[in-house]
Amino acid sequence: MGCDIHVFVEVKNKKSGKWNTYLEADGGWPEYIGRNYDLYAILANVRNGYGFAGIDTGDGFECISKPRGVPFDASETYLSQVEEWGSDGHSHSFLTLAELQSFDWEGKKTNHRGYLRQRDYKHYKETGELRYLCADVSGVNVVKVNNDTMEKVINGTLKGGSDTDFYTQIHWEESYAESCDYFLKKQLPILVDLARQCDTSEEDIRISFFFDN
């Protein structure tokens, strides 16, 4: 089962000290945060190193913070969404722009794991590009082999049946920044621009969020 994130960008009013919803980043536009489980792990320790049904996806990430709960001073818009989702919403938390900016995205690294089919493993070896990666795979025609055996399959020295699908698990290292490239390059700058527009500090811009699955 998939897991989605619901994000609300809040700005603190300088005069009243009240947090107001500026943006509901919960739709099909640049601010929308989609299903990046690596990002979920970093933001709130959600799906950290595993996928659906506990399937292993890697060593996991050091999170910025474990879920902090619903902020006591959350905006009315956010609170209404929390109430609407009820027990289907989980892992409620919030992070300021300052916390997001100060996190060591570039310096921290992690190891990922996943399975590639024969043709996609060949493509990966030739180009370095990962495509059609699976956290795990099963089926009557699926045969899991190690990398050395997959090399033999690719060069033709080992053959399976006409319906055999060979898969092999690969391991690779990435920085946290590489794992969350779109968020850092496209979405975080929106929050930085918002701080300028509102003439406020990074401490007074935050994302409040929760998950559902």
Question: pLDDT for 136-184, tens place per residue?
Answer: 999 999 999 999 999 999 999 998 888 999 999 999 999 999 999 999 9
Q: How far is CA 85 from each of CA 5, 41, 71, 90, 97, rounded to the nearest angstrom? A: 12, 21, 16, 9, 25
Do 191 and 97 sit in the same domain of this protein? yes
Whether the per-residue pLDDT at 27 is higher than 70: the answer is no
pLDDT of 85 = 95
Is the pLDDT higher at 52 or at 62?
62
Contacts of residue 144, defined as CB under 8 A and 6 or more positions apart, other chains included, come to 115, 137, 166, 167, 168, 169
Q: What mean pLDDT value characterizes the chain?
A: 93
Do 43 and 143 sit in the same domain of this protein? no
Do 50 and 142 sit in the same domain of this protein? no
pLDDT of 28 = 45
Give the structural domain span for 127: 111-173
Instruction: Tell me the per-residue pLDDT of 59-109, one tens digit each, with 9 for 90 and over.
Output: 999 999 999 999 999 999 999 999 999 999 999 999 999 999 999 999 999
Q: What total number of domains does the chain contain?
A: 2
Q: Whose structure tokens read 């968020």?
A: 183
Rounded Cα distance between 173 and 185, Å, is 20
Contacts of residue 190, defined as CB under 8 A and 6 or more positions apart, other chains included, come to 30, 31
pLDDT of 159 = 87
Confidence of residue 210 (pLDDT cuts 50, 70, 90): very high
Do 85 and 159 sit in the same domain of this protein? no
Do 162 and 191 sit in the same domain of this protein? no
Do 100 and 189 sit in the same domain of this protein? yes
Do 44 and 118 sit in the same domain of this protein? no
Do 29 and 95 sit in the same domain of this protein? yes
pLDDT of 52 = 82
Do 195 and 90 sit in the same domain of this protein? yes
Do 138 and 69 sit in the same domain of this protein? no
Do 166 and 198 sit in the same domain of this protein? no
